């Protein structure tokens, strides 16, 4: 089968891995300029040089045995390392979180910087619509994107799936990133659930990161929602003041600071795993179908591929059982 996957984050790439291993062709399209999705890392240009900070997922767990094996392989390749400051089974990409997605994307056909704006079905085949034209045909389309973005693309083709996506609302997250020319005096490299701060961490304390001192501060969902339209510069100041309050000491002026708003950061998870319509060859996967974690996105991508492969096997069994009409019988 020739499958198009919209979204080359953890879920889309996990799905592509399985399809490719089973001999199918998977072409991925991602609107991002580079690999990462919500595991991306931001490069900040500072007077101390360029500094890369993880501004989405901060770490990931590996509890599923197959995922644990894959993560051990990333460790052996040097693109992931355990981060024991946070827990006993917690990992980060090295030298930045997006290293994992870069490694996963390497063996696949991924078109970056390509936002899919619609999908069209004609004579049993799919075409993707994008700025400046179309791409296709494909036998199947998989959407591996956040629920709100999937709902818009699904609605014309499978209303039931679109409705599930519409109910799986994601919460926003304002994230501040700071670089300092001196170390902050903090009792711990990690702060959790301190007032409006959901999470703050010394990015430079993660394995494989170099100096200078860099911190990331992620606001709670409620605070992010109530400050949704506040200007990024103001958010950066507010989150820095909150960090000072949380670590209980004055914080020097950063040499560089910025804030990023994740509109669709975390979704509780519908529990479906993945959704697949075999009649038209349309599927959807992503963390929002299981839970707001990297490992859930990976599991969802695998569940998506399994559903597609099952229905492809059923279809070929059916084709083999159907008696062919010879020209004379016809
Ligand atoms: C601030 C924040 C903190 C987090 N912290 C953690 C954590 O500590 N631990 C943890 O396990 N998880 C964490 N997560 C969640 C984790 O990042 C996600 O669960 C996981 O990365 C989701 O992977 P995905 O493939 O489902 O989606 P994504 O990573 O969002 O991938 C979807 C991809 O689709 C692309 N895309 C979207 N629309 C289109 C379109 N129309 N056309 C083309 N491409 C499109 C996007 O560019 C993106 O690359 C965090 C997330 C955020 C935002």
At 248-307, the pLDDT tens digits run: 989 999 999 999 999 999 998 999 999 999 999 999 999 999 999 999 999 999 999 999
Max Cα–Cα distance, the chain, nearest Å: 90
Instruction: Count other C-beta atoms under 10 Å from residue 60's C-beta.
Output: 24
Please tell me the distance from the alpha carbon of residue 168 to that of residue 180, in angstroms, as a whole number.
38
Q: For residue 120, give every residue at least 6 positions away whose Cβ sits within 8 Å of its Cβ, in sequence order, or none.
A: 126, 127, 129, 134
Q: How far apart are CA 73 and CA 80, in angstroms?
A: 9
Q: What is the DSSP letter of 189?
A: S
Ligand 1 centroid – CA 57 distance (Å): 8
Q: Ligand 1 mean position to 315 CA, how many Å?
A: 32
Q: Cα(302)–Cα(280) distance, rounded to whole angstroms?
A: 20
- Looking at residue 323, its pLDDT comes to 61
Q: Which residues pair with 259 in a beta bridge?
A: 176
How remote is the CA of residue 262 from the centroid of ligand 1, in Å? 10
Q: What's the number of CA atoms in the CB half-sphere (13 Å) around residue 104?
A: 29
pLDDT confidence of residue 114: 96
Q: What is the pLDDT of residue 211?
A: 77
Distance from C-alpha of 120 to C-alpha of 164, rounded to nearest angstrom: 21
Tell me what pLDDT residue 10 has. 98
Which residue numbers in the chain have pLDDT < 70?
A: 323-330
Which pLDDT score, from 0 to 100, does residue 330 have? 39
Residue whose Cα lies nearest atom 12 of ligand 1: it is 293
pLDDT value at residue 329 = 42
Question: Nearest 10 degrees: CA dihedral of 233, 234, 237, 238?
Answer: -140
Q: Where are the alpha helices (DSSP H) in the chain?
A: 10-21, 65-77, 98-105, 147-154, 159-167, 221-226, 232-247, 294-321
Q: 224 CA distance to ligand 1 centroid (A)?
A: 17
Cα(185)–Cα(180) distance, integer angstroms: 12
pLDDT digits (tens, 9 = 90+) for 58-91: 999 999 999 999 999 999 999 999 999 888 889 9
Q: How far apart are CA 27 and CA 111, in angstroms?
A: 8
Q: What is the pTM of this model?
A: 0.95
Cα of 294 from ligand 1 centre, angstroms: 8
User: Looking at the chain, how many residues does it have?
Assistant: 330
Q: Which one of 5, 29, 36, 56 would you pick to mutate in the ligand 1 pocket, going by the greatest count of ligand atoms within 8 A of its CB?
A: 56
Ligand 1 pocket (Cβ < 6 Å) reads 6-12, 29-32, 37-39, 56-60, 115-116, 144-146, 149, 173, 175, 218, 262, 265-266, 286-287, 292-294, 297
pLDDT at position 324: 58
Nearest ligand 1 atom to the CA of 286 is 26
The answer to whether residues 242 and 216 touch, using CB atoms and an 8 Å cutoff, is: no
Distance CA 29, CA 238 (A): 36
Q: What is the pLDDT of residue 217?
A: 98
Q: Answer whether 221's CB lies under 8 Å from 172's CB.
A: yes
**Atom 19 in ligand 1: residue holding the nearest Cα:** 293
Nearest CA to ligand 1 atom 53: 265
Kindly report the number of other CB atoms within 10 A of residue 80's CB atom: 25
Domains defined along the chain, listed by start: 2-40+59-169+268-320 (3.50.50.60), 170-267 (3.90.660.10)
Beta bridge partners of 90: 61
The C-alpha atoms of residue 97 and residue 104 are separated, in whole angstroms, by 12
Report CA(281)–ligand 1 centroid distance (Å): 24
């Amino acid at each position: 089968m020739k499958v198009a996957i919209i979204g080359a984050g953890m879920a889309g790439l996990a799905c592509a891995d399985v399809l490719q291993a089973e001999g199918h062709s998977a072409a991925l399209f991602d609107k991002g300029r580079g690999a990462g999705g919500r595991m991306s890392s931001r490069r900040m240009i500072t007077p101390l040089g360029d500094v890369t900070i993880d501004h989405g997922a901060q770490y990931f767990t590996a509890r599923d045995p197959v995922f644990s094996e894959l993560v051990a392989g990333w460790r052996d390749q040097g693109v992931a390392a355990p981060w024991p400051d946070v827990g006993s089974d917690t990992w980060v990409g090295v030298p930045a979180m997006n290293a994992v997605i870069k490694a996963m994307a390497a063996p696949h056909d991924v078109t970056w910087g390509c936002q899919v704006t619609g999908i069209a079905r004609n004579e049993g085949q799919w075409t993707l619509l994008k700025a400046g034209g179309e791409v296709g045909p494909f036998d199947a389309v998989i959407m591996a994107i956040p629920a709100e973005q999937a709902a818009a693309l699904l609605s014309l083709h499978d209303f039931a799936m679109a409705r599930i996506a519409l109910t799986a609302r994601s919460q926003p997250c304002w994230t501040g990133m700071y670089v300092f020319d001196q170390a902050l005096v903090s009792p711990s490299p990690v702060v959790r659930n301190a007032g409006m701060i959901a999470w703050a961490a010394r990015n430079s304390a993660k394995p494989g990161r170099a100096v200078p001192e860099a911190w990331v501060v992620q606001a709670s969902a409620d605070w992010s929602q109530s400050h949704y339209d506040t200007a990024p510069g103001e958010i950066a100041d507010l989150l820095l003041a909150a960090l000072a309050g949380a670590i209980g000491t004055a914080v020097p002026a950063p040499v560089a600071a910025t804030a990023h708003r994740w509109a669709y950061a975390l979704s509780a998870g519908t529990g479906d795993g993945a959704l697949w319509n075999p009649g038209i060859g349309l599927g959807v996967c992503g963390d929002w179908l299981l839970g707001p974690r990297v490992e859930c996105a990976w599991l969802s991508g695998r569940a998506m591929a399994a559903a597609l492969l099952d229905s492809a096997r059923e279809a070929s069994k059916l084709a083999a059982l159907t008696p062919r009409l010879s020209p004379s019988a016809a």
